[in-house]
Copies of this chain bind each other. A is one copy, B any other.
Amino acid sequence: MDQLEAKFSRLGVDNAPGQEITQAEERLQLIGEKIPGKPVDFSHGDVDAFEPTPGSLDTFIRGVYSGGVQAYTEYKGRGDIREALAERLSAFTDTPISADTQLIITPGTQGALFLAMGSLVGRGDKVAIVEPDYFANRKLTQFFDGEMIPVELNYLESDERAGLDLTRLEAAFKDGVKVFLFSNPNNPTGVVYSPDEVQSIGLLAQKYGVSLIVDQLNSRQIFDGRVYTHLCAQEALPETLITIIGPSKTESLSGYRLGVAFGSQKIIKRMEQLQAIVSLRAGGYSQAVLKSWFDEPEGWIEERTNAHERIRDDLLALLRGVEGVKVRKAEAGSYLFIKTPELTVTMGNFVKILRVQAAVTVTPGTEFGPQFTDSFRINFSQDHHFAVEAVKRTIQMIERYRK
C-alpha cells in the first residue's frame, strides 16, 4: 500500500453526517416491525424547521446584481465585508481584529479549519485533539501527516465545567505538542468550557508555546443565560491563536458555505495563500450574505435560542427516563451526545437499523473518537414535534435492542 493509499484508507466518509445515503445495503439482524413516523434526520439541523436568517436571500440577490466586484473578491474575501465582520466580531469576542491582516472569509468553517490546520501542521507535528470532538479534527491531523495526541473530555463528570483533562493536556504540551485544536461549545456534547478551563488553556499554551485553533461555530446560541468565555479575549495567550466561527448553525446559512477565521496575522496570511490553491475564495455572491450576519432583527437570536432550549428540555426529559441512558444537558448549540445501555448489536449497526426501522438518522459516536462505541449524536435543530416523536421511536429501538 503506497503512502496515498494508506492516507485515504483512513479518511472514511460513509458514516459522516449527511453521508448515510452512501452506506452499502447489508444484512442486518432486525428485531420486530418498522415503527411508523415522519423521517427525521438528526445528522444535521433542519433548515426547513429553522429557516435561514430573515433577509439573507435578498442580501445574496443584491450581491449578484452588484456584479463583478462581488463575483471576484480578493482571496481572503471582499474588503468592505471583512471590515464589517472585523468590527462585529471584535464586539462579540471583546478582542481587536484587523480586517486587513487578521481575518479571512472561507467556504464554511470546514474550509477555515482545513486552512488553519494546513497552515500549522507539518509532517510529524504533534497535534492535541479532544475526545470527543468534531470528526474532521482527527482526519485533518492525519491528512497533514501530524501525530495525534488525544486528550479526554470527561463531559459526564460534572455540570460545572466541560471536563477537559487539564493534567493530560499539560503533559501533552510538555511532550512537544505544536497545535491544540478544539471546539467550544464542544461538538458533539454541546458543553461550554468554563471560564477557568478557557483561561487554563490560554495559560498552558503560552507556557509551552503551543498554537491554538478554537472552533466557536456554536458560540452564539448559549442556553440558560450561561456566560460564554472567548479564548481570544484572555490575557494569557500563546503567539498563535486562530478563532473560527460561521453562520451555518444558529443562523441556518449552511447552504451558502460561509465561515470566518481571525487571529494571528502570520497564520491568516498563510491561510490566504493556501485558499488561493484550494478554492480561490468563498463563493463571491455568498460572501454578500455575511452583510446581514450579526445584524439580525432585534430579538431574533434570543427567540431562536429559546426555541432550541425548549426542544432540548423535552428530549432530555424523555431520554433521562430510560434506564442506562446517559446524556449531559447541552449548554449551547443543538447537539446531544447520547450514551446508550449495552445493546445486542454494534453501534454502527444500531444506527443503520434505526434508519431502516424507525426512519431516524443519527451519527455514531465513533465519528467523534474511536472509544465512543456506545454513543450517538443528534442535532436537535428540528421541528419540535417531529423531533420528540423521533426520539420516542429511538427509545423504543433502544429498548428493543437492549442486552
- Mark A residues whose CB is within 8 Å of B: 2-4, 7-8, 11-13, 16, 18-19, 21-22, 44, 46-48, 52, 57, 60-61, 63-64, 67-68, 70-75, 79, 107-108, 110-111, 113-114, 119-120, 122-123, 136, 139-140, 143, 252, 254-257, 270, 272-274, 276-286
5 nearest interchain CB pairs?
A71-B255, A257-B283, A255-B284, A11-B273, A48-B67
Q: Is the CB of A13 within 8 A of B107?
A: no
Chain B residues with CB under 8 Å of A70's CB are: 255
- Indicate whether A119 sits within 8 Å of B279 (C-beta atoms), given known contacts A61-B61, A255-B285, A285-B255: no
Q: Is the CB of A283 within 8 A of B286?
A: yes
Closest B residue to A46 by CB, please name it.
B68
**How many chain copies?**
2
Q: Is the CB of A276 within 8 A of B11?
A: yes
- Indicate whether A4 sits within 8 Å of B119 (C-beta atoms), given known contacts A110-B279, A279-B110: yes
Q: Is the CB of A13 within 8 A of B254?
A: no
Closest B residue to A65 by CB, please name it.
B57
Shortest CB distance A186–B (Å) = 19
Q: Is the CB of A110 within 8 A of B273?
A: no
Shortest CB distance A173–B (Å) = 18
Alpha-carbon distance between A306 and B8 when the two chains are bound, in angstroms: 45
Shortest CB distance A386–B (Å) = 13
Closest B residue to A20 by CB, please name it.
B74
Closest B residue to A140 by CB, please name it.
B277
Alpha-carbon distance between A113 and B279 when the two chains are bound, in angstroms: 9
Q: Is the CB of B72 within 8 A of A279?
A: no
